Amino acid sequence: MKEYSIDDFCQLIDHTNLHADATKADMKKLCDEAKEYHFKMVAVNQVQSQFCSKQLAGTDIHTGAAIAFPLGQVSIAGKEFETKDAIENGANEIDYVLNITELKAKNNDYIEDEMSRIVTICHQANVLCKVIFENCYLTHTEIVRAAEIAKKIKPDFIKTSTGFGTGGATVADVQLMKQTVGDAVHVKAAGGIRNSDDFLAMIEAGADRIGTSSGIKIINALKKRMAVDGVQTIQLAR
């Protein structure tokens, strides 16, 4: 069991706006909200890295850039360039989409090479690296295979979904990913997590980070629940 305060919960949230039509005003609002609630990170498209990192300067809130988003169908060299460019423009977390075609083709060497190269770039720059699987397109066997590669290469996180596929995070997938990687790699749940019950369920399933555009709604619901119960923390089975 583990005790979580409101700030502990906020520090699990990647506050997200990945919409193609997001404006600078939307990005500023996202960053201001992240500062107000003390979220862990803002999750944005790679091109927003510089703007958001400047908005968050002087805080401990990270700028997370999405790479090869949302399809993952970019060459390794292209993903390397996007990653380096995002880091040079202030990103201190990277969420990249692996090559789903190559994973489904059982080209493990390709997936391992891709992951190793992106993770190396990130870790040499002291930047966190998350690998997005997009589980809605994968079988359980394919999820396990990708997770086993991650256990070997050791990105910081493996992540369930982009939120732009045919499905998002499920408790079963989070449990499967965590069971496969154990303590070697963290798990991020993302995609369709819009209420406090789902949020808590993902944490209990093994997620150490939650990607959501509903973070404010979730935190406010948890504050209300805790006030009604007269408690300062919530205990979860971890």
Catalytic residues: 95, 159, 188
* Count of alpha carbons within 13 angstroms of residue 178, beta-carbon side: 19
* Count of alpha carbons within 13 angstroms of residue 78, beta-carbon side: 10
d(CA 97, CA 101): 11
The token pair that represents 130 in the structure block: 């998350």
* C-alpha radius of gyration, the chain, whole number: 17
Least Cα distance to 130 among 78, 170, 189, 171 occurs for 189
Q: To the nearest 10°, the Cα dihedral for 183, 133, 197, 63?
A: 80
State the sign of the Cα–Cα–Cα–Cα dihedral 208, 210, 215, 217: negative
